[in-house]
Every structure is written in structure tokens, then in C-alpha cells.
Structure 1
Amino acid sequence: MGRVRILSEADVKSLVTPLEAQEAVEQAFQDFANGISRMAARVTVTIPDIIGNMRILPAVKVLPTPRPIPPTRGYLGVKIYTGYVGPVFKDLTKDRFTVLLYDMNDGCLLAIVAARWLGALRTGATAAVATKYMANPGARTLCVVGAGEQGETQVISLAAFLKPNRIVIADSIAANRDALVSKLLAGGLKVEGVDAIEVGVRAADVICTTTTSRNPVIQKEWLKPGIHINAIGANVANRREFPADVIKSARVVVEYREQALQEAGDLVVAIKEGEITPDVIAAELGEVVTGAKPGRSSEEEVTLFKSIGVAIEDVSVAGLVYEKAVAKGVGTVVEM
């Protein structure tokens, strides 16, 4: 039987930096746009008699970063995780997020990778890639709305790439905001908290929204001309962080059109209510990365990247984690 490497949350955190994750994700979107790799939209299976589900994200022929020449190795992978409603889902002592990584050449299982932090890291990395191609070059003020785990990795990833002069954290729950500000300050980042979301948004050149709100938390009149938005929350069809007038007035880019039209609440709700049509999507991120379509058309244009998380993000970062783990001898290797 084959040997499989098991990588824990601590292993993942120790092996990959935000900038390395960004490089892997950017390459993955380029490969997807060029038809090298493939993925399927998220499959969600509800659990009978329990308010929960299992979700599956598969991707194939995801090539490693840095890229070997010629590219003789690559990965197949699937992220599997469960979603439950209530306190049970917030119990961080239990693992519900996993990536299974396979050898592209023979289909053999290579690694089982803990993926809670990996998921947050790749989301931040993807937002950084979108910001690279969609924000104005002079953007230096960042506002993150939502002070949970995703908010943390948005700050870490955007700070590494954007190097902003000012980072503002906004959250309607003061205790969450203050806790994240303290954590980031302790980690060496210069951040500040604000009481009102509007105050942070009005000052920003780039905003990242990471809430679980079912109703809009941002208003169009708060947005300055030329602002770039990474809309990370509202990743299920009945939630929305932005009203339809923001979506209609912005250049909208998504990761994967098929999945976005199924899951991105900011789009799905507005389409169902007849406020917008699917044509509001200007491009997929891979098309922007490859230069097939522009990320913005002018300095004054408002740009919006609607992220819901797709398979190539997880598998590309998991592949990077695995390669670094092998090189450094990290993880537990078992016979299956």
C-alpha cells in the first residue's frame, strides 16, 4: 500500500507564507483560464434530520508552484468539509475541513491536509490576486469589514501584497473587532478599529467584506470613485453584503461563473428579484490574470471581486504545502 503524509493545522501554518499562497493561487487561475486545469462547482449534500451538510470541491491537473520545467508532476485534489448551524460549527478543537491530494500521474493518494487555516489563507491570497489586477496602483488605505478568521487572513494577505499606509478593522460586534485589532497589533501589523462600518469604508481605497450578513452592510454612497471591493462574505445564495445598486454600478469579476451564479448571494438574490442579470459579470478572475479581459477600465471605475471559494484555490495551496512538507520532512507519514 502507498505512503500518505498527514499534515496538521500547525504544519500548514508553519510551511506557507501569504505571498507564497498568492503566487500559487495566481498561477492556478492562469492555468484554469488557459484550459490546463479543470474544476467543478461545489457539490453540497444536506444531512437528513440535521441542520447541516457536506460540501465537496474537486479540481484536476493543478500544477505546482514554482513550476518544474517541463511540468512532469501535478495534482488532483478535493476539499471536503462539513457545515453545521450553531455553536457546534464554531468549536475549533474539531477538524471539519480537509484536502485530499493525489498524484496526477497515477491517481495515488499523497496527502491528507488539514484545511481550516488553509481555506482562510487561500481566500486571502485570492483577494490579494484580485486586488493586484483590479485596484488602482495608488491604493494605500485598506478597510476590512468583519473581524472573524477570514477577516484576519484578509488583513494578513493584503498587508503583505498591498503594503497599505492605513489598515482599518470594522465590525458591528465591538469585542470581536477589538480582539482582532489586538491580535494583529501583537503580530506586528499597524491596524486600528472603528466603531462604524461607514467611517472605515468612506476612507478606503480597498475594502474587504467578510461578514455572514443576510442583508446589505455597505451602501453605495459610502464608496469613493475608483474603490476596489473584495466581497468575500455572502458565499451562500440567501446572504448579501451589497445592495443591487452597488453591483450594477461596478465592474464585477468572479472566480468561476458557473459556481458564482449558484452560490454568490450578492448576485443570486439580486437576479431573483429582477434587479440585475447574469450579464453583470464582466469576467472571471483567470481571464483578468491572463489579460484576456481588463480588471478595470478607468481610475474612477468601482471594481468588485465577488469571491465564494473554488477548488483550484484549495488544491493549489495544498500542493504547495505538500511540496514544502516533503522538502522539510514535516508531517506524519503512514502506510495506508
Structure 2
Amino acid sequence: MIVISEADARELLTMADAIQTMATAFRAIHAKHAVAFPLVREQISECNAVFGVKSGACIQDDTLGLKAGGYWASNSQKGLTNHQSSTVLFNPETGQPLAFVGANYLTALRTAAVAGLATDRLSRPESSVMGIIGAGTQAVFQIEAVLAVRPISKLIVASRTEESARRLSEQARLLGIQEVTIGSTVEAAEQADVLTTITPAREAVVELAAVRPGTHINAMGADTAGKQEIDSSLLRVARVFVDDWTQAAAVGECQHGVSHWKMTQGDLAGTLGGLAADAVPGRVTADDITIFDSTGMALQDLSVARVVVDRARQRGMGQEIVLESAS
């Protein structure tokens, strides 16, 4: 078994790599070559944490595994990253573990990469203004992903804390965005061609009245029952795409469409897999409001881990260990 450190993972996969890997993964999902097993996600109140396990397989690609981890809200006070994740890959024929991969960086990368893929398929090609609501660790990855597919020259940052907004603004300038301003959630929504929400909110931070025709929204924060960033009425008027309907209906933005106006899978415009496979239309008119409701899927984690493992072995990186000898 090979062990890949966080430092090695950072060296082995870029945002452009990750977006391409996500496209391949979601095409496999659409073709039903891949399967996601039931999601485990639980609150651990004693530790002020949320712990989850995402697992799945793409046997045609010899991929089987899981990612375990979650969010420990108190970690920052201990000098640690709040998000903690690790991925384990197995040999699908024998069940033997093949790799253990530090997945904090890869989780951030793959989360943003699906937003980059959705932005590429759904936003107007000339989109140049991005709004981002939320300025935590994941936010800079989201900006980088959108920059990889659209010529963003202006960014509006909205955050609950001025310190976080200023830090993200500086990071965005280093990424090459010419004009960066700090504004309200309404200003970010009103001005954006591409709007990304990446918050832990439990009530809408984006209202229908603030969103212009033609806007594309990446709704990235809702991944647990009760979380919400988007006014559920937006789901009625937009072309809505999901990574997985079952998850979106349970823990994504769509959970509020289900509860508020009986939203069903038939109300979707499609899935990210359908978009990646060119099997469903994305934006039909320039004035369409499009929404990508992301909840995160196991194959995202397994796919980026698989690429990293393959590259590590090609380059002589990582540490090989033996867990058991052949009998």
C-alpha cells in the first residue's frame, strides 16, 4: 500500500487536472459505470464536529474506496484545519488496501473543480464578473476554479467577517483578478455573472429578487439536512442541475424545494453527469438562471485520489508500506 501525504498531493494535482478528472468521473456516473454507496453523515456534538463517510466504486476503472472525514469547528483553535479527510483505495478484486491518501487539499480541490465544470457548461461564455458569498478556506479554490474556465476580471466578496473578506480579496488579487471589492450578499448577487455560495448558512443568503437573468449560481455550501443558501423560490424559476438527486433532495439546496413546494426529480433540468456527457442541454437562452446544487459524491474523491496515486508511483513519490504478507 502506498501512503500519499498532503504535501505530495498538492504537488501532484492542479486545478486544471482536477476539472478534467471531474468531467471524466461524471461521465462515468452518467453512463452508470460508477456507483455511490449510501452516505453516512452524523453530528458528533461532544466534539463539535460533523463526521461522514462517502464510498463508491467504478469497477471498469478498477476503483473502489471511501473517504472519511468531516468538519471539526474547534480545530482552528488548536492550530489545525477544520476540515479533515482521508481517502482509502482498495483492490476491487481482492479487497486489499492499495493506498491511503491525505485528502484535505484534494477535497478542497475536487469540491471547487465540480463548480468549475458546472460553470464551464452553464455560465455565459463572456461571463466576467464573479460574486462569492463566504470567505472561508474553500473560497479561494472556488475562485481559482471559475478563473480556469471564464475570463473573470471583477470579483465581489461578501462575508460575515471583514477580516476573512480582506484576506480572500488579497488572495484573489494574487490570482490575477483586476478589480476586487468587498460588498454585501445582495451586491454580490446583483452584480454577478457567476455567483458562488460557500457558507454554512441555515437560511437563504441569496434571494430571488437579487439575481439577474443570465446568472449562473454554484450552490456549494448545503451538504447537510437543514443547511440552506438559496431562496427555494429560485429553484422554481431556474434551470437546476445536481450532482446526485437523492443527495440533493436530502441534504442539498433541493431539500428546501422538496419541503416548500414539493420539488421532484422531474423538476430538474439535468445532472452534472448529463452535462459532462453532452446528454442534456445546459443554458438554453442567454437569460436563463442556472443553478448547480453540489452535495459531493464519493467518486469525486476516489477519482482525484486515483490520479494522485498513479502519478506518485510514476514519479517515485509517496511511501510504500506492507500491511500483510501473501499467505
Tell me what 1:87 maps to. Answer: 74
1:304 has 2:291 as partner = yes
Q: Deviations over 1:120-178 (max 9, x none)?
A: 10011001111111112221221121111121110111112223222332212111010
Quote the offset at 1:89 in angstroms: 7.0
| 1:1-336 alignment runs, 5 A limit | 4-45=1-42, 47=44, 51-61=48-58, 74-84=62-72, 86-88=73-75, 91=78, 93=80, 96-186=84-174, 188-190=176-178, 192-264=180-252, 266-274=253-261, 276-336=263-323
Helix, strand or coil at the partner of 1:162: coil
Quote the offset at 1:269 in angstroms: 2.8
In structure 2, relative to structure 1, the CA distance for the partners of 1:27 and 1:13 (3 Å cut) is same
Helix, strand or coil at the partner of 2:204: coil
Does the 8 A contact of 1:244 with 1:276 survive in 2? no
In structure 2, relative to structure 1, the CA distance for the partners of 1:163 and 1:280 (3 Å cut) is same
Q: In 1, distance between residues paired with 2:45 and 2:128?
A: 48
Does the 8 A contact of 1:62 with 1:312 survive in 2? no
Does the 8 A contact of 2:22 with 2:110 survive in 1? yes
Tell me, which stretches of 5 or more residues in structure 1 are unaligned? 64-72
Does the 8 A contact of 1:41 with 1:259 survive in 2? no
Quote the offset at 1:250 in angstroms: 0.4
Does the 8 A contact of 1:30 with 1:290 survive in 2? yes
Q: Residue 32 of structure 2 aligns to which amino acid in structure 1?
A: G
Q: Residue 85 of structure 2 aligns to which amino acid in structure 1?
A: F
Choose 116-125 or 98-107, whichever is displaced more. Answer: 98-107
Q: Deviations over 1:55-85 (max 9, x none)?
A: 111121266xxxxxxxxx532121111444x
Q: Residue 24 of structure 2 aligns to which amino acid in structure 1?
A: Q
Q: Percent identity?
A: 26
Quote the offset at 1:48 in angstroms: 8.2
Tell me, which stretches of 5 or more residues in structure 2 are unaligned? none
Q: Residue 219 of structure 1 aligns to which amino acid in structure 2?
A: E
Does the 8 A contact of 1:210 with 1:232 survive in 2? yes
Quote the offset at 1:43 in angstroms: 1.6
Quote the offset at 1:201 in angstroms: 2.1
Q: What is the aligned length?
A: 322
Does the 8 A contact of 1:214 with 1:239 survive in 2? yes
Does the 8 A contact of 2:227 with 2:251 survive in 1? no
In structure 2, relative to structure 1, the CA distance for the partners of 1:184 and 1:53 (3 Å cut) is closer
Quote the offset at 1:190 in angstroms: 4.1
Q: In 2, distance between residues paired with 1:182 and 1:48?
A: 35
Choose 290-299 or 316-325, whichever is displaced more. Answer: 290-299
Quote the offset at 1:107 in angstroms: 3.3
Q: Deviations over 1:23-48 (max 9, x none)?
A: 11110000111121211242224558
Does the 8 A contact of 2:154 with 2:177 survive in 1? no
Normalising by the residue count of structure 1, what TM-score does the alignment of the two structures yield?
0.88
Q: Residue 290 of structure 1 aligns to which amino acid in structure 2?
A: A
In structure 2, relative to structure 1, the CA distance for the partners of 1:88 and 1:111 (3 Å cut) is same
| Root-mean-square deviation (Å) | 2.2
Does the 8 A contact of 2:55 with 2:65 survive in 1? yes
Quote the offset at 1:186 in angstroms: 3.8
In structure 2, relative to structure 1, the CA distance for the partners of 1:121 and 1:190 (3 Å cut) is farther
